[in-house]
Structure 1
Amino acid sequence: MYTITNIYFITAIAVIGGALFGFDISSMSVIIGTKQYNDYYGPNIDSDVQDGMGRRYSIQIGALTWVLGSVSICIAKNIPLLIMGRFTNGIAVGICSAQVPVYISEISRAEVRGRLVGCQQWAITWGIMIMFYISYGCSHMEGVASFRIPWGVQAVPGAILFTGLFFLPRSPRWLAKKDRWEEAENTLALLHGNGDINDPYVKQEMEDIRTMVELERQNADATFLELFKPSVISRTHIGVFTQIWSQLAGMNVMMYYITYVFAMAGLSGNNLLLSSSLQYVINVVMTVPALIWMDRWGRRKTLLVGSSLMMTSLFSNGIIMASFGHPAPKGGVNGVKAASWEVHGTPSKVIIANSYLFVASFPITWGPASWTYPPELFPLRVRGKAVALCTSANWIFNFALGDFVPSAFENIKWKVYIVFGVFCAVMTVHAFFCFPETAGKSLEEIEAMFQEGLPPWKTRVSKESTPVRIPRVDNPGKADYAHEAV
């Protein structure tokens, strides 16, 4: 079968798995408020009811699961079937969001790895925007077609992903781990040496992969418990918190509930919905600079600047709402209890501008970096399990915030901004002291960096490679050599 070898084309197909996440978000955000949806499934549905093998093959299974879930949602005749379809889609999103970054990180050159893995976030933003406008357009249709068409359309990217993966190569590092050395070498040559196994980059990469695979085999088979051993737990902590902070920064809160914020700032009707939808356009556009320059900026600087900018916007909005706002009438703005605070005039315009600035700060920093960073941290033997654990932390906090935020807006009002502003302040300090720089280093070089124990604030973006001594796991007195970027 023909195999695609262009790394950018491979990435474009693989990150459709990220687009599924975006489709999943937007396919409900518009539809659940429409009259057609509520007439069919029943009015005033409780909010709790609404939510309720190798790298390549794993992603393929996720894609197929997504198609099945989407079809189930499209034809659902009642709430239990709708929940079942949503649950199936959730499984698919979980599989793809855990495996796509790992796959891309393992086939990429170090100097463009951030750009390529960051495309996962870009695909998510495209999925959110496209599905929002499809759903918004269909919401003007009469009858059940208004929501069945969007839910059916979202199966299309899953089908494209499933089919496209047949033409993508396997991860060379995974092949090496399975003792399929010839396949691993040929795949690296196709990806990075124009088919020449004697290409200097291919030879060096194979040498580094062989060294690390041999070292890792001196340990027992990997289990999740290994992620909590002294040699790995610091990386587990960094990877898990990268995903946790990406949620506690408040971006998904803004994406889900920006209509509440703009309602409190005085917007209503189609003006409210379309103004809120501009965040999706900003999200797509502002991811591009990160994809182009993140490997040059480095991970640390990207994360630190992003959390600082978001903290500033959140604190600013909280202070403005506290100083110039007042409680909304009983029942909330436009009958929405979560829209429990009102601000009018010039301060409301500042809040809207600040909200857009906040949205712009995330996709250029923490958005793509939070997907790029975790797969880089871990040795090959536990990389798949580690990224799955990190991703699960993302979804756990996503779910928790979905339950927390509406009641928080209702009960503590403008103080919600202060809460998330504090989270951004803490994550800035945490990232400075605990998150090392990985940009420009091969995955094997990152392993060597962790073994050396260099303080995170002393790590730098790598520019070129020189030999590095890697302590042997079984005998620290002996050493193997890889190449460390300096």
Structure 2
Amino acid sequence: MGAGAVTTNDGTSGFAHLIDPNRKWYNNKRLIALNAWIVLLLITSSTNGYDGSMMNGLQSLPQWKDYFNSPSGSMLGLLNAIQNIGCLAAYPFSPYLSDGIGRRPTVFLGAAIMCIATVIQTAAQSVGMFIGARFLIGFGLTFAAGAAPMLVTEISYPSYRAPLTSTYNSLWYSGAIVAAWTTFGTFKIGSTWSWRIPSALQALPSVIQVALMLFCPESPRWLVSKGKDDQALKTLAYYHADGNVNDPLVQYEFNEIKTAIEFDRTVAANVGWKSLFATPGNRKRMRIIIALAFFSQWSGNGLVSYYLNKVFDSIGITDPTIQLLINGILQIWNLGWALLASSFVDRLGRRLLFMTSSAGMLLFFIMQTVCSAQFAAHGSDAAAHAVIAFIFLFYASYDLAFTPLIVSYTVEILPFPIRAKGFTVFNFAISLSLIFNQYVNPVALDAIQWKYYLVYVAFLAFELVFLYFFVIETKNKSLEETAAIFDGEDAAEHIHGAALGGPTEMYEKDEKSTGSSRENVQSLPKV
């Protein structure tokens, strides 16, 4: 499904000319409201980022280590990995909830589960209780994080879709910043509240979502898939055209969505788990998606994301205050680079960002490895400081593509009928890669120190080659147009022909009988 036949030679969307250049997110109250709802969805990623950074910080807190008997080796690996094991347990249910009850209720359910889990985590009296709470956090996060980015990409105004969806994963660092500086601030508290306070604050994004989520607009694509065309058209009109159901952009979007979903459901039979690998186009999608999932965690970043204290210990930086301070600064650095890259995804394109990111990571990780070896051989302070510098440069490179694009690129190349299932496969692959990392990394770092970095150097070189040959450019295309790159021009022409059709029949009739459908819809509440 797609409309690639209407994509112009410069790669811009076939309906770019239908977008009102004067309608900006800052001067249109409907777009301001829409983007406010999108921000509510984006903070889902903050919860995930908070968890990783919090666990990094807790490992540097003597109070946490003393309370749980200084976990190390496989127990430390389990404490980090259990959240992803919880994610794995929820994956069989996540796509059915997103496709069955809708994106909006699924996010609400996930947030509610995480609120309960953080209460248990904060009140933990034993390591088993702490582990159980983290399992439940992962279980709830799967529902929220599976539905939220899809809803973002499916309700966004076309010209803001790619930057906003890319911002989703970039806000991982907003949670990481809060967690890093919270653990830094509670470090001086002499009681268990030094780690209970950071544990409690993890619930903040979820509490906000529980309070507001059910008032958020539902995905027009989901509404169309359930036969609720009237609601879908009203939602598009309300937020994308000030309530005018006959606006050319709204009509194009609605017809393209309706035809694409129907085409996949009937002509292409592009539904169900089997269809993920049944066609050449879908096999191409899954090859890219699964690779990106593993690349996002096996690029060496897992060492710093979850075991920063061990990396610092290996270069002689053992003061917990210094470790926590560097961790806090690193998260701010990451957020800045990730948000900058998010704003340029449609200007620079996906391929350029992926290639630049991979080349930079390879270069700076090699330098980090060399400097770590120098410190191990000579104990040089200069080498230790250079390792820190190259960690920052490595993450700047990582944040150019692998923070903003892995989620947005995944959801945009998947057609609606398999979007939830394909995104679940992506998240499942991430969890598998994380569980492996969280068990293997601490053991390998204890056993062979800096030599373990050589494994990631080799893998980064492989990533660079893979991305060069397989990543496909998708900038400045609608969700439906993007799929034409994978499914061919026949599908594109079919859907584009329908998208260019006249106003939908039910509203054309209403227009004649009541005068102005714009007036009828303008006063509608959120659908």
TM range (shorter): 0.7 to 0.9
3-state DSSP class of the match of 2:209? Answer: helix
* Contact 2:64/2:195, CA 8 A, preserved across alignment: yes
Specify whether residues 279 and 183 from structure 1 end up closer, same or farther in structure 2 by C-alpha distance, changes over 3 A only. Answer: same
**What is the letter of the counterpart of residue 355 of structure 1?**
I
- What does 1:246-265 align with in structure 2 at a 5 Å threshold? 246-265=296-315
* Contact 1:259/1:276, CA 8 A, preserved across alignment: no
Tell me the equivalent position of 1:297: 348
* Contact 2:78/2:438, CA 8 A, preserved across alignment: no
Structure 2 unmatched ranges of 5 or more: 1-29, 83-100, 501-527
* Contact 1:98/1:387, CA 8 A, preserved across alignment: yes
* Contact 2:176/2:331, CA 8 A, preserved across alignment: yes
Match of 1:198 among 203, 224, 246: 246
**What is the letter of the counterpart of residue 334 of structure 2?**
N
Specify whether residues 351 and 145 from structure 1 end up closer, same or farther in structure 2 by C-alpha distance, changes over 3 A only. Answer: closer
- What does 1:133-148 align with in structure 2 at a 5 Å threshold? 133-148=181-196
- What does 1:64-75 align with in structure 2 at a 5 Å threshold? 64-75=112-123
Deviation of the 1:38 alpha carbon = 3.7
Deviation of the 1:240 alpha carbon = 1.5
Tell me the equivalent position of 2:164: 116
Whether 1:18 aligns to 2:68 is no
- What does 1:465-484 align with in structure 2 at a 5 Å threshold? 469-470=490-491, 481=497
Specify whether residues 438 and 345 from structure 1 end up closer, same or farther in structure 2 by C-alpha distance, changes over 3 A only. Answer: same
Deviation of the 1:350 alpha carbon = 2.1
* Contact 1:470/1:481, CA 8 A, preserved across alignment: no
Whether 1:8 aligns to 2:58 is no
Whether 1:228 aligns to 2:277 is yes
3-state DSSP class of the match of 1:381? Answer: helix
CA distance in 2: counterparts of 1:483 and 1:417, whole angstroms: 51
Structure 1 unmatched ranges of 5 or more: 328-341, 453-467, 473-477
TM-score by length of 1: 0.86
Specify whether residues 266 and 48 from structure 1 end up closer, same or farther in structure 2 by C-alpha distance, changes over 3 A only. Answer: closer
* Contact 1:240/1:393, CA 8 A, preserved across alignment: yes
CA distance in 1: counterparts of 2:499 and 2:365, whole angstroms: 43
Deviation of the 1:5 alpha carbon = 6.5
3-state DSSP class of the match of 2:491? Answer: strand
* Contact 2:349/2:473, CA 8 A, preserved across alignment: yes
Tell me the equivalent position of 1:368: 404
Tell me the equivalent position of 1:130: 178
CA distance in 2: counterparts of 1:259 and 1:48, whole angstroms: 14
Bigger shift: residues 431-440 or 144-153: 144-153
CA distance in 1: counterparts of 2:260 and 2:213, whole angstroms: 27
* Contact 1:290/1:368, CA 8 A, preserved across alignment: yes
With a CA cutoff of 8 Å and minimum separation of 6, indicate the structure with the bigger relative contact order.
Answer: 2
Output one character per residue of 1:135-157: Cα deviation in whole Å (capped at 9) or x when no partner. Answer: 22123212222222221222222
Match of 1:50 among 79, 93, 96: 79
Using the aligned pairs only, state the percent identity. 26
Deviation of the 1:390 alpha carbon = 0.4
3-state DSSP class of the match of 1:374? Answer: helix
Tell me the equivalent position of 1:181: 229
Tell me the equivalent position of 1:156: 204
CA distance in 1: counterparts of 2:125 and 2:287, whole angstroms: 44
* Contact 2:112/2:206, CA 8 A, preserved across alignment: yes
**What is the letter of the counterpart of residue 352 of structure 2?**
K
Tell me the equivalent position of 2:444: 408
RMSD: 2.3
**What is the letter of the counterpart of residue 456 of structure 2?**
F
How many residues matched? 447
TM-score by length of 2: 0.80
Bigger shift: residues 24-33 or 387-396: 24-33
Bigger shift: residues 155-164 or 377-386: 155-164
